[in-house]
């Protein structure tokens, strides 16, 4: 096979498929060959240019005029006709939000919406996060065994996200199902039969988002980032547009919780599989923020992000033609030895862990990163204090098959309740 720039496709590039087991289990490991031999390659199966080295990914993120984010939420697997018909029935119209908006519209909008992310405003959410984690922990602490994903890792971040947005907390189970449908729809490869089911979920999510939005618009202004957006939409409808409001309402519910839920599960898995590191955190909780950051580098919850070339452009010595779709495997960049020493090691003392690409980079870098970090920190603080004897059970991890959002679907842990510090020393 030949790539769109006329160059031959190597056998490894031809064989690459992000929906195969190796990438699903460990995307950084699955692209080791690429980092070492062919850091920019065309994948005929995906129809994307794959970029795996840290410096190349950062260069793409840095230049968002040449490498537009407009395809960031595009369906990576095109819809079947049946699925399209379903979406049409729901009047589905997901369009630009922040993450997939080009300049200059993006910056004008982002600037209007920064108030909710000041350190003081974020810190004001901390007691609520801690309270939620404590209640969830109270419910299981005498049990001795639990799947932390099912018990709290998705529900707490979802509750925090809705609170942060000002969206009423209704039907959490349904919202979780919607989020899974959205992830599969955007980054998955559903079979033709699954496509219809996924489209139903996405269509319902779109309708639901519209209903919630209209309800919020009809009420006096409450607290939360969605209310900030509604207000800006009234004041500056050309900057914070109507279409933006509805699309954002749907996208942000997912962006604000699924990412954090998966990141927390990844972090607990990595730390508990290294009992000495876990013990060190229990003895020295001041190490927790650095440990969380290192987990975001080593096993982030967003592992790949997309751009499209707006002109012929060179990346790592390869010319990507205008219109070329690009998959930056940020998880691979985070394991690039040219930037991180012993990259496969989880080192909570690493001094440049914060350079990781899990939150993206440049003008679109994650706005909610400090909220996500805070939630991870609080989870770790509560568990290291209240269940230092926690152990990871032997288990097979499974992942929702997709290119970009990654974390185990379940995380089984066990502990001896008789050893709980609060029982020994109430
Ligand atoms: C953008 C990851 C949590 C809101 C992004 C991007 C990534 C990302 C990769 C795209 C960056 C780019 O294009 O350079 C994550 C991860 C999280 C997380 C790994 C948790 C561990 C959150 C939370 C919020 C949030 C809690 C809540 C408010 C946003 C927004 C953008 C964004 C609004 C778009 C920013 C823009 O385009 O200007 N995030 N995110 N994220 N994230 Fe997050």
Q: State the pLDDT at residue 425.
A: 67
- Name the closest-CA residue to atom 36, ligand 1: 364
CB distance 67 to ligand 1 below 6 Å: no
Q: What is the pLDDT of residue 193?
A: 87
38 in any annotated domain: yes
CA of 64 to the centre of ligand 1 (A): 16
Q: What is the pLDDT of residue 23?
A: 97
pLDDT score recorded for residue 173: 86
CB of 415 sitting under 6 A from ligand 1: no
pLDDT for residue 426: 60
Any ligand 1 atom below 6 A from CB of 187: no
Q: Is residue 4 part of a domain?
A: no
Under the banding of pLDDT at 50, 70 and 90, the label for residue 94 is confident
Our answer on whether the CB atom of 34 is closer than 6 Å to any ligand 1 atom is no
Q: How far apart are CA 418 and CA 401, in angstroms?
A: 39
Residue 278 lies in a domain: yes
Could you tell me if the CB of 372 is within 6 A of ligand 1? yes
Per the domain annotation, does 252 fall within a domain?
Answer: yes
Alpha carbons 275 and 269: distance in angstroms, whole number: 11
Q: Which of 76, 81, 75 is nearest to 196 (CA)?
A: 81
Q: Output the domain CATH number for residue 59.
A: 1.10.630.10
How do residues 37-61 score in pLDDT, each as one tens digit? 999 999 999 999 999 999 999 999 9
Does a structural domain hold residue 148?
yes
Q: How far apart are CA 373 and CA 371, in angstroms?
A: 5
113 lines ligand 1 (CB under 6 A): no
Q: For the segment 270-304, what is each residue's pLDDT rounded down to a tens digit?
A: 999 999 999 999 999 999 999 999 999 999 999 99
Task: Give mean pLDDT, residues 249-267.
Answer: 94
User: What's the domain range around 344?
Assistant: 11-424
Task: Work out which ligand 1 atom sits closest to the CA atom of 61.
Answer: 14
User: How do residues 313-359 score in pLDDT, each as one tens digit?
Assistant: 999 999 999 999 999 999 999 999 999 999 999 999 999 999 999 99
**Structural domains in the chain (count):** 1
Q: How confident is the prediction for the chain on average, in pLDDT?
A: 95
Closest atom of ligand 1 relative to the 72 alpha carbon: 13
The predicted pLDDT at position 105 comes to 94
The Å distance, Cα 79 to ligand 1 centre, comes to: 25
Whether the complex's predicted ipTM surpasses the cut of 0.95: yes
Of 112, 366, 370, best ligand 1 pocket probe by most atoms within 8 Å of the beta carbon: 366
Q: Residue 191 domain-assigned?
A: yes
Residue 93 has a pLDDT of 87
Q: In angstroms, what is the span from residue 102 Cα to ligand 1's centroid? A: 16
Which residue owns the Cα nearest ligand 1 atom 41? Answer: 368
Ligand 1 pocket residue status of 99, Cβ below 6 Å: yes
pLDDT at 351: 97
Is residue 3 a part of any domain in this protein? no
Pocket residue to mutate for ligand 1, from 160, 163, 232, 255, most atoms within 8 A of Cβ: 255
Distance in Å, CA 114 to ligand 1 centroid: 13
Q: Is the pLDDT of residue 130 over 70?
A: yes
Residue 81: its pLDDT value, please?
A: 93
Centre of ligand 1 from the C-alpha of residue 88, in Å:
28
CA of 12 to the centre of ligand 1 (A): 32
- Which atom of ligand 1 sits closest to the CA of residue 116? 28
Ligand 1 mean position to 376 CA, how many Å?
15
């Amino acid at each position: 096979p030949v790539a769109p720039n006329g160059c031959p496709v190597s056998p490894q590039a031809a064989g690459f498929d992000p929906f195969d087991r190796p990438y699903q289990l460990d995307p950084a490991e699955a692209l080791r060959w690429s980092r070492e031999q062919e850091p920019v390659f065309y994948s005929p199966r995906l129809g994307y240019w794959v970029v795996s080295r840290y410096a190349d990914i950062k260069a793409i993120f840095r230049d968002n005029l040449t490498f537009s984010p407009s395809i960031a939420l595009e369906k990576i697997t095109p819809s079947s006709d049946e699925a399209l018909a379903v979406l049409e029935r729901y009047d589905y119209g997901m369009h630009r939000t922040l993450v997939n908006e080009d300049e200059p519209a993006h910056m004008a909008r982002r600037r209007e919406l920064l108030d909710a992310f000041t350190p003081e405003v974020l810190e004001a959410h901390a007691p609520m996060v801690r309270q939620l984690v404590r209640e969830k922990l109270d419910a299981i602490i005498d049990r001795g065994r639990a799947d932390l994903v099912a018990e709290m890792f998705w529900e707490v971040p979802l509750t925090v996200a809705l609170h942060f947005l000002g969206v009423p907390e209704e039907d959490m189970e349904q919202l979780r199902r919607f989020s899974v449908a959205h992830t599969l729809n955007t980054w998955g490869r559903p079979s033709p039969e699954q496509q219809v089911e996924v489209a139903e979920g996405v269509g319902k999510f779109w309708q639901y988002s519209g209903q919630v939005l209209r309800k919020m618009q009809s009420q006096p202004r409450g607290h939360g980032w969605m209310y900030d957006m509604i207000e800006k939409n009234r004041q500056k409808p050309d900057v914070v547009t109507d279409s933006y409001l509805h699309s954002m309402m749907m996208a942000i519910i997912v962006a604000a919780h699924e990412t954090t839920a998966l990141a927390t599960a990844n972090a607990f898995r990595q730390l508990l599989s290294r009992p000495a590191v876990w013990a060190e955190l229990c003895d020295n909780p001041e190490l927790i923020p650095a440990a969380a950051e290192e987990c975001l580098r080593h096993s982030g919850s967003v592992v790949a992000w997309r751009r499209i070339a707006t002109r012929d452009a060179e990346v790592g010595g390869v010319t990507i033609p205008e219109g070329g779709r690009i998959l930056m495997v940020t998880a691979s960049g985070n394991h690039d030895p040219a930037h991180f020493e012993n990259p496969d090691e989880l080192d909570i003392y690493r001094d440049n862990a914060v350079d990781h690409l899990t939150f993206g980079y440049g003008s679109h870098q994650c706005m909610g990163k400090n909220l996500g970090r805070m939630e991870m920190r609080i989870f770790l603080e509560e568990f290291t204090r209240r269940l230092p004897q926690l152990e990871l059970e032997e288990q097979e991890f499974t992942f929702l098959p997709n290119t970009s959002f990654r974390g185990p679907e379940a995380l089984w842990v066990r502990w001896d309740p008789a050893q709980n510090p609060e029982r020994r020393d109430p």
